[in-house]
Amino acid sequence: MKFFIDSVDIEAIKKFTLSGMVDGVTTNPSIIAKSGRDFKEVIREICSIVPGPVSAEVTATKASQMIEEGEVLSKLAKNVTVKVPLTWDGLEACKRLADQNIMVNVTLCFSAQQALLAAKAGAAFISPFIGRLDDLGEDGMDLIKDIRAIYDNYSNLKTEILAASIRTPDHVRRAAILGADVSTLPPTVLEELAIHPLTDKGLKAFLDDWEKTGQNII
């Protein structure tokens, strides 16, 4: 499974990129607005740090304007992935942009049939929102399972499943078991993936025993 960071926190992106754990980044207008920085400047900087796909979302709602914005965004860096909403206008924009060999991430997916439409439109990624479905009392993982089953039925569908709205390490675990290609998660959740109390306990015991020997490796 690939990990994307869902953030514009440059220091966090640099940190996890150095560890080899970051395969891409997802952004949206809301999190960039909170940074107080210029939208295009942020995208360019992230693209210079991360070699993989960096999602930059359009703000238009009409297909013609989405296409125009998408073409502008795609020129910011070679690894920009244009992010469009899962509406009919978004699907039209996806098809037109994909026909230009521009990577497209279709976001705000909440049903398997929506995911099928996005794949037919040529999306590079589909972003089902797990956490938001959980908020409604549903199990967001059921959507991942259904999309995986549909895509596996048709070898001509090349769209990758990008599990989004990840809230917990367990979301990542379950998405991986079900075959999601990517999880996009906040830096805090990525940090938590490596944490387990038994690991800490075991490390302390090893270090205590080593200290008793009075030896040094270097």
Q: So what CATH class is 2-213?
A: alpha beta
User: CA 120, CA 19: separation in Å to the nearest integer?
Assistant: 35
Find the helix or strand (DSSP H, E) in which 54 lies.
Answer: strand 54-57
Length of the chain, please?
218
- CA geometry: angle 62, 160, 196, nearest 5 deg: 120
Instruction: Give the active site residues.
Output: 83
User: CA 161, CA 159: separation in Å to the nearest integer?
Assistant: 7
Q: Give residues with Cβ within 8 angstroms of 132, minimum separation 6.
A: 110, 140, 165
Instruction: Give the residue ranges of the chain where pLDDT is below 70.
Output: none
Angle between helices 112-120 and 140-153 (to 10 degrees): 40
pLDDT given for residue 31 in this prediction: 87
Q: Is the separation of the CB atoms in 1 and 179 below 8 Å?
A: no
pLDDT given for residue 188 in this prediction: 96
User: CA 64, CA 67: separation in Å to the nearest integer?
Assistant: 5
- Indicate the pTM of the whole model: 0.94
Whose tokens are 């025993």? That residue is: 209
pLDDT given for residue 35 in this prediction: 87
Separation of first and last alpha carbons in the chain = 36
Q: Give residues with Cβ within 8 angstroms of 36, minimum separation 6.
A: none
User: CA 178, CA 142: separation in Å to the nearest integer?
Assistant: 9
